[in-house]
Each structure stands twice: as C-alpha cells, then as structure tokens.
Amino acid sequence: MTGNKFLFAAVLLVAAFPLVLGAQEFISPKGSQSQITVEKDSAKYFMLKPGSELIFKVVGPNTIKIYGRIINPAKAGNASLMVYQGGTLVGAMLVTPKPSKDLLSHNKSLGVSVVSIQEFGISDGEQDVKIKSSAKSPETIVAVEVMVKKGAEQSIDLVPLVPLAPLVSQKKEEKPADIDLVPLVPLVAPTDTKQEKAPPAKQSSKDTKPEGQYKEIVASSAPKEKVEVPSKSISTVVETTSKPIIEKRIFQAGLNAGIIIPSQSIGGPYTDIGLSLSFFPIKTNPAFGLGLNTGYHNLQIDIKDGSGMKKYAMSSNLIPVSLTLSYLIPINNKFYADIFGGGGVSIISAELKNSTTNTSKSASSVAPSFNAGASLTFRLNKNNGISVLCGFVGGKASLDFVKDLDIGGTYFALGYNFTY
C-alpha cells in the first residue's frame, strides 16, 4: 500500500505541475503562421519579414513580453519594430544584430542574434496587439509571452486530494501486522538474567577485598586519564589559532585592470582601470575602513539607423570618484574578503561625430554616481597580494546632445594590493 500511495502522490504532483507553470504562456498570432523554433530556446517564434506585421489577441489588463531575434545577424543591421494596441502606437522596440551561438531548428546553417526582450502594458478588455517591422529592417522572428494571472480554479482542482484520507486508515490496519513482531521482546530476558547474576555480587559482603579493589581502580586510573586528555586538546586549539597578519594592517593601496559591461545595450565590454586607497584606523578583526576609489572607462558607441548604416559615433570618457566604506573579513592568514560601497561623482567628456557629414560635437559634465562591490585577496607576503574583484558603477548624466545617458556598468578585474 505504501508504494501505491507514493505512486498516486507522484501522479497528482505531475498533474498539478502545469498549473504552476501556467503563470506565463506564449501565444500565436492571427492567421495561418508557421511556428519557428530556435535550439536551446523555449520561446514560440514567428517570422516577421521587412514591412510586414503580426497581430496577437491579448486580454487585459495584463503585461506582455516581446522577444525579438534577427536571422543571420552577421549580415544585418538593427531591426525597428513598432507596437500598436488597436490603432494606437504604444511603443517601439529595437532588436540589435549581436550574434549568438544559437541556430534555427529547421535550418541549422542560419544563426540568430542574441534575444532582445521588452515589456508592454495592455489595457482592459480584449485587445489586438500589432507588431510591425519597418521596411528597412532585416528578417526577424518574434515571440509574445503573456503574463497570465493565477486563478482560483487551481485551488479547487486540488480538492480531490481529500479522498486520500482513507489510505491512512488502511496503513493503520497494516501496522497490526508489524505488531506480530512483539514476541521478539522476550529476548530482553537474558538481560534480566544478568541482573539475576548481580545478587552473587552480594557475596562480596563476605569478601571485602573485591570492593576495595574496585574503589582503587576508579580513583586511580579513570579520573586521571579524563583530566589529561581535555587539557591536551585545549592546548592544541590555542596553538593552531595564530593571529592573522591582516590584524596589523593600517593602509592599503590597490591597482586593478579589467572590463566593464555597460547597463545599456551599447556594445562592449570595454576596458576598465581602477585605483583604490583604504585606511583602517582601528586594529580590529574584522575591521571597518575608509577608502577613495577612482578609475577610467572609455566607451565607443556606434549609433545606426533603421537600415543598419552607422550614422553617429560617440566616444565617452568616464572618471568616477567615490568615497567608500570598507568592511574587511579575514578568512585565514592567506585570504581575506573586502566588501565596499559608497558614492561620489563621475567626470564625463563625450564627442559625437556624424559619419555622413564628418562634423562633430563635444560636451562634458559632472554627474552623481555610486560604486559598490567586493574583492577577494590572496596575500603573497606581509605587504603584497593579488586580488579578484567585481562591482557596479551607477549613475545618469545629461549632455547637450544626449539626455539621461546611463553611465552605469558591471566591472570585473584583477588587481595588485600593497599593505602597510
């Protein structure tokens, strides 16, 4: 019966599992459209040729996600998709031709770009959502995912689980069969016989020597051994917990180099160079410290039109300067972790060049920013060490020709630390 219970419960779990995943689903457009699948991608794609459109029926209020991929991105430019609700334009979506390793399932000689995803809100009622491609866009495949709300019917479907209660009573009936094993209890009788053998020990009242011998054994050997063993174990623990060298650290300087991945889809990764200075006034372990972080990032951004031709080229130099608070966590004499975070400003200078007219514009600005991250350092000796670190620089700036430029990005770097 136990096997039947687990089998029945497993069937119920498998039956309930699609209900949980029902929170999201991919939908098909109106008309006869052939579905296109991409290897290692569960999205339900449909072809969108240049200048064509697809119409999806969505019931709101709701939120949809539109997935876009360009076919054969190595020979294509950006794809511009316009999104309508009914006859009203609600937004636009840009699909970039960044190549990926994924291939079309029906034609493995064609690759697709990295998937671009954008969310759109849908108004109340049954709506026709139209996705239209510009005439100069390359061939693109799109998928629409609807964020379906969970209904109360799911809890009602689980009510049939109640009839499982009789199975418990049947198991209780099986337990009496196990009670038949109780006759094994008489095996305890030999222990009683040992207790019966104990009375002969009363004969020691006639011979007092055995009692005296037992008392000498307990007093001489057992306590001494028990006392000496703990004392030795305590001494070894004290000897192995030597003080880390990090406890004597007062000042630290670090230089690192790596890459930064911008928050916006503007290419990259780009080179990143950083310098950090930290001061630990209190010799504690772990320790808090004050620091100054700065760096240099150079971003090269190509801005293309709908046909994929480069229209503008922007070069931007960023120098973030942040005051940070560090928290040093020693792991052992060789490794320690450092968590830091703080805020400051970013000095920005940018140049925008028109590729058609060869004219350029330049501008500069100072914008607030923040810096947070963590590092792990391996100490080569008392003063030198190498480290790996990751973090995030964030902030926004407005220039004469660019509004709300996101200067944030995630960086990964290797560094050298000098400790005094």
Q: How far apart are CA 227 and CA 354, in angstroms?
A: 86
Domain assignment of residue 94, yes or no: yes
Residue 344 structural domain: 248-419
How far from chain centre, in Å, is Cα 416?
Answer: 27
How do strand 287-304 and strand 310-330 relate by DSSP bridges? antiparallel
Q: What is the mean pLDDT of residues 200-228?
A: 46
Evaluate whether residue 179 is within a structural domain: no
Looking at the domain assignment, is residue 8 inside a domain?
Answer: no
Q: How many CA atoms lie within 13 A of 224 on its CB side?
A: 6
pLDDT of residue 287: 80
Residue 329 sits in a domain whose CATH number is: 2.40.160.20
Cα–Cα distance, 84 to 88 (Å, whole number): 5
| Residue 37 resides in a domain | yes
Residue 68: its pLDDT value, please? 96
**Quick check: 1 pLDDT over 60?**
no
Instruction: Quote the pLDDT of residue 309.
Output: 74
Last residue of a domain, one of 147, 162, 185: 147
Q: What are the percentages of helix, strand and coil residues in the chain, rounded to 5?
A: 25, 50, 25
Structural domains in the chain (count) = 2
pLDDT in tens, 336-371: 898 999 999 989 888 888 877 888 888 888 989 999
Q: How far is CA 13 from CA 9, 19, 256, 268, 284, in A?
A: 6, 10, 51, 45, 53
For residue 57, pLDDT over 90 is answered with: yes
Does 105 or 179 have the greater pLDDT score? 105
- Do 259 and 140 sit in the same domain of this protein? no
Answer for the pair 56, 47: CB distance below 8 angstroms, yes or no.
Answer: no
**CATH code for the domain of 84:** 2.60.120.260
pLDDT band at 78 (very low <50, low <70, confident <90, very high): very high
Give start and end residues of each alpha helix (H) in 180-207.
Answer: 189-197
pLDDT score, position 251: 82
> What mean pLDDT, rounded, does the chain reach?
75
Task: Return the closest-CA partner of residue 320 out of 355, 276, 282.
Answer: 276
Top-confidence residue, 266 or 394: 394
Residue 353's SS3 state is strand
What does DSSP assign to residue 123? E
* pLDDT for residue 148: 66
pLDDT at 215: 45
